[in-house]
Amino acid sequence: MKKRQTDKGDHASDAPLVPRRTPTQARGRQRVDAILDATAELLVERGFEAVTTGHIAERARIPVGSIYQYFPNKYAVFIALATRQAEQFGRITTMLSRPETIIVRWGEVLDRLLEAIVDYLLSDPAIPVLWAGLVKCPELRLDDVEYHAKAVDYTFAFLAQLLPDMPDEKRAVVGMTVYAVSEALFFRLCQESAPQKRQLLLNELKVLLKGYLAYHMNGD
């Protein structure tokens, strides 16, 4: 039974998952970074489910209360970390999506893109852990997860150029398929420790997607 707190958006539990306050001073930014760094470490060490606010605070060497200075609740910390991680991700996709090249040599573009994404995912082992954790977390909506939003957007933008004549509904299904398949293989790949095995898996993903997309470009 909760202290009947009427609905305010301040210190509330059902608050939006955006940071409470974007710190402008150096110290504040440092602390937010410390919180996010600590969270990233713990995600890798303990896994998504096992990260607690207590652990985060301990690792960041701050009191628990300070987490709640910057975030309305635990999940907002995850979201913020995801957002920070997703910046680089956004840059990749932006960079590779020059429309003019996409159609003529779309196979190459796709290859480069997939390689870049793998590089990105491997650049920080916390990324796939958090991504996978957030995607299945019943406490939040997928739209809050930055990578997911970006990846979905990008997928559909890519397909819009590649399959301009396909009806929107159909393209939505194709998009979901491409997205789901890529996500699944990327996560597997990240769990693989041997680089050559990762290379092999990436190759299969390329083959798979190119075959699938080629099929939809030719006729049906």
Partner DNA sequence: TATGAATGAGGGTTCATTCAT
Partner DNA sequence: GATGAATGAACCCTCATTCAT
Choosing among a copy of itself, DNA, none, which partner's interface includes residue 159 (Cβ < 5 to 8 Å by kind)? Answer: none
| Token pair of 118 as six digits | 């793998």
> DSSP per residue over 54-104, as a string?
HHHHHHHTS-HHHHHHH-SSHHHHHHHHHHHHHHHHHHHHHHH--HHHHHH
| Separation between Cα atoms, residue 131 and residue 153, nearest integer Å | 16
Q: Write each residue from 174 to 193 as x if it is in contact with a copy of itself (CB under 8 A), else as -, in one continuous string.
A: x-xx--xx-xxx--x-----
Q: Write each residue from 31 to 70 as x if it is in contact with DNA (CB under 7 A), else as -, in one continuous string.
A: x------------------xxxxxx------xxxxxxxxx
CA nearest to 118, candidates 89, 91, 152: 89
Are 160 and 213 contacting, i.e. CB atoms less than 8 angstroms apart? no
| Token pair of 207 as six digits | 């083959």
- Find the binding residues for a copy of itself in span 85-124 (CB under 8 A): none
Q: First vs last Cα of the chain: how many Å apart?
A: 58
Tell me if 19 contacts DNA by CB under 7 A: no
Which of 39, 73, 85, 93 is in the footprint of a copy of itself by CB under 8 A?
73
Q: Applying CB under 8 A, which residues contact a copy of itself?
A: 1-6, 8-11, 13-14, 45-47, 49-50, 52, 54-55, 58, 73-75, 132, 136, 138-139, 170, 173-174, 176-177, 180-181, 183-185, 188, 197, 200-201, 204-205, 207-208, 211-212, 214-215
Q: Applying CB under 7 A, which residues contact DNA?
A: 1-7, 11-13, 21, 23, 25, 27-28, 31, 50-55, 62-70, 72-75
